[in-house]
């Protein structure tokens, strides 16, 4: 019998804004033992705007619906590729608490509003100082088609940026203990590590291929890079849009301190 997901989410009106950036400019925010992935010689950093239509977390009766923005980059751990979350802005104190304490992802409580007028969407986000360094983001976007979309081609930039299952983050002993109580981490995954200090965790969110469509988008305000300590990219962003996606998250794994050797083909 297959194991039930640790969490399930339904995403809608997803905007991807991708920037190429030199890998060395991300090293200070991507911890060891993760390696920074590149495509055509560049690392990439992405702002993702999403309206979470519903979320179900194991052992939590509350199923929130809320808008969110995340800042992420692309990494690998041994032979496994994935996403490293640099920062996530979420509207709602309870949801921020659940994300920090149940899954360890670096969420910040922010005022995030996504408005819809026919096919045009507008988003505004503001994180006050009490939730970390202040950060603002504002954009408007209009997808060409709200319902139809194509899939990323194998080997394409879109596949590299979007079709990833694994994600990584660092967390301390309090997260480990609470997540074990909530059942969001695998039992017996300590890998010989002590209960003090920070550990690296890996998660996986299963999903079907993303249905992507072109989108006309304009970012009017963005201080997310500055707030995260990342230099501002010099090139213009590349945009993608998806109307909806369902994801089922598996329980988290605590990773060993050393990176496994790549498997020879």
Q: Are 55 and 8 in contact (CB under 8 A)?
A: yes
pLDDT band at 261 (very low <50, low <70, confident <90, very high): low
Bridge partners of residue 138, in order along the sequence: 124, 221
Q: Is the pLDDT of residue 188 over 50?
A: no
pLDDT recorded at residue 124: 96
Q: Are 20 and 42 in contact (CB under 8 A)?
A: yes
Of 44-53, 159-168, 254-263, which range is least confident?
254-263
pLDDT band at 189 (very low <50, low <70, confident <90, very high): very low
Strand pairing class (66-77; 107-109): unpaired
Q: What is the CATH number of domain 7-254?
A: 2.40.400.10
Residue with tokens 């301190």: 257
pLDDT band at 190 (very low <50, low <70, confident <90, very high): very low
Q: Which is nearest to 43 in space by CA: 31, 30, 55, 33? A: 30
Q: Is the pLDDT of residue 45 over 80?
A: yes
Q: Which of 69-78, 103-112, 170-179 has the highest mean pLDDT?
A: 69-78
pLDDT recorded at residue 258: 62
Q: Is the pLDDT of residue 90 over 70?
A: yes
Q: Which residue has the higher pLDDT, 186 or 230?
A: 230
Beta strands in 61-214 (DSSP E): 66-77, 80-90, 107-109, 111-117, 120-127, 135-143, 166-171, 199-206
Q: Where are the domains of the chain?
A: 7-254
pTM of the model: 0.84
């Amino acid at each position: 019998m297959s194991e039930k997901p640790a969490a399930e989410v339904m995403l809608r009106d997803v905007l991807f804004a991708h920037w190429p950036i030199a890998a060395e400019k991300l090293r200070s925010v991507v911890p060891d033992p993760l390696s920074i992935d590149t495509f055509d010689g560049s690392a990439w950093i992405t702002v993702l705007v999403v309206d979470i239509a519903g979320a179900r977390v194991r052992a939590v009766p509350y199923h929130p619906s809320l808008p969110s923005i995340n800042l992420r980059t692309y990494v690998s751990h041994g032979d496994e590729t994935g996403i490293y979350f640099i920062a996530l802005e979420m509207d709602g104190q309870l949801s921020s608490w659940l994300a920090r304490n149940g899954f360890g992802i670096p969420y910040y409580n922010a005022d995030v509003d996504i408005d819809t007028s026919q096919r045009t969407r507008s988003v505004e986000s503001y994180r006050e100082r009490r939730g970390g360094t202040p950060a603002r983001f504002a954009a408007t976007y209009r997808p060409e088609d709200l319902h139809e979309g194509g899939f990323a081609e194998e080997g394409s930039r879109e596949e590299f940026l979007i079709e990833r299952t694994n994600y990584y983050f660092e967390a301390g002993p309090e997260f480990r203990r609470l997540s074990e109580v909530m059942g969001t981490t695998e039992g017996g995954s300590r890998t010989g590590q002590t209960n003090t200090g920070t550990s690296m965790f890996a998660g996986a969110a299963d999903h079907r291929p993303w249905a992507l469509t072109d989108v006309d988008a304009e970012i009017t305000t963005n201080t997310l890079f500055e707030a995260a300590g990342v230099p501002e990219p010099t090139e213009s962003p590349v945009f993608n849009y998806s109307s909806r996606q369902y994801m089922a998250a598996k329980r988290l794994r605590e990773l060993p301190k050393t990176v496994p050797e790549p498997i020879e083909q």
